Structure 1
Amino acid sequence: MRPCSRSACTAEAVATLTYDYADSMVVLGPLAFRAEPHAYDLCARHAERTSVPRGWRVVRHAPIGGASTVER
């Protein structure tokens, strides 16, 4: 079990968040196979509540078989 990266959260991580600064984009997808130094593992609650700065996009990749979405 990998814990959520948010401070004081002890819930199990279910998603991985990465930033693409050059494209002003946040990518949120299923939990990566291993912990990555430049990514953030999040629990379901924090993954759902993720927000980004104005002008950035959020790309949410669903698990295999689900539909991905892009939010502005």
Structure 2
Amino acid sequence: MLSALHDIGVILLNPENPSDREMILPAKARDDVDWQSTNRILLENEDSRDFIELVSTYYQTGRVRSRD
């Protein structure tokens, strides 16, 4: 559903060997973040909060934390 609505890609990962992966649907590049949808995802899925914070920091500053 997210792929169709927001051009999010889907990758099938092998938990035993993460480098062994298969691209199911490719993502499409976007110039802007859909913050309204992002906020809705945060409300529906608390586990995504750390990831969204990393993306937000990168989007706003261009910085990536070395530990990540």
TM over 0.5: no
Higher-strand-fraction structure:
1
Please tell me the TM-score bracket, short chain as reference. under 0.3
Larger radius of gyration between Structure 1 and Structure 2: 2
> TM-score, normalized by length of structure 1?
0.26
**Structure of greater relative contact order (alpha carbons < 8 Å, 6+ residues apart):** 1
